[in-house]
Amino acid sequence: MNKNLAKKAVALMLSLMLPTFMAVADQANDLQKKLARLTSFQASFDQTVVDASNKLIQQGEGMLSLKQPSLFRFETQTPEPNLFIGDGKTLWFYAELLDQVSIYDAKEQVQKTPFVLLTSHDPKLWAQYNVTGADDQFDITPKDPSNAVKKLSLKFAGLALSKMIVIDSNGQNSTFDFNLVQYNTPLASELFQFAIPATAEVDDQRVK
């Protein structure tokens, strides 16, 4: 193939690929705009976990609270009480039955899960994920194949989240159905703060 033919072939390939790239970028922008309008979100949830063969592993209930920017509180009540809180700088995970607290640096951990995109507008974080979908259904997949989360699916009812599905590297599927939804209402700052119980065993994973 001479140089002119090679250039034409490359130009043709780029012209065919460009609309796809633009479509993917538009889908990510659509999701970012939708989430940006969701300044706060709070709902109870029913959780169902199945394995790769669709066998039921666990069912549970809890509460999710989100607030822009970068604040979240994820609390399970059944089958056992656990609490996961992030304030943009620090992440706390409290296993109540074990009375154990694990502490993480938020900036180091947020890149490991697409969940952070729910309350972040950071272009560097969004650049690490592919987004497909439109209107009320979006799928987020990490570009890094080593990420423990293989896909995060979000379903909206209007502006508010109605369902979230997380598929991990083992094919385990966790579905969260939200109810009693409130959005864009004031949420107390205390929701996103954590006081370590005096009796708790503490595992501080932050680099010092």
CATH number of the structural domain spanning residue 82: 2.50.20.10
Burial code of 22-45, b = ≥16 C-beta within 10 A, e = fewer?
A: eeeeebbeebbebbeebbbbbbeb
Predicted local distance difference test score (pLDDT) of residue 16: 34
Burial code of 49-85, b = ≥16 C-beta within 10 A, e = fewer?
A: bbeeeeeeeeebebbbbbbbebbbbbbbeeeeebbbb
pTM of the model: 0.80
In the predicted structure, residue 33 carries a pLDDT above the cut 90: no
- Identify the three-state secondary structure at position 19: helix
Amino acid sitting at position 140: I
Both tokens assigned to 26: 């538009």
Span 170-178, average pLDDT:
93
Percent of the chain with pLDDT strictly greater than 70 = 87
CA distance 65 to 72: 6
Number of folded domains that form the chain: 1
Percent of the chain with pLDDT strictly greater than 90 = 50
Domain that includes residue 114, residue range: 3-204
Span 147-174, average pLDDT:
91
8 A C-beta contact, residue 70 and residue 119: yes
Span 41-63, average pLDDT:
95
Chain-centroid distance, C-alpha 165: 10
Which residue in the block uniquely carries the two structure tokens 């394995």?
Answer: 51
In the predicted structure, residue 128 carries a pLDDT above the cut 60: yes
Predicted local distance difference test score (pLDDT) of residue 42: 96
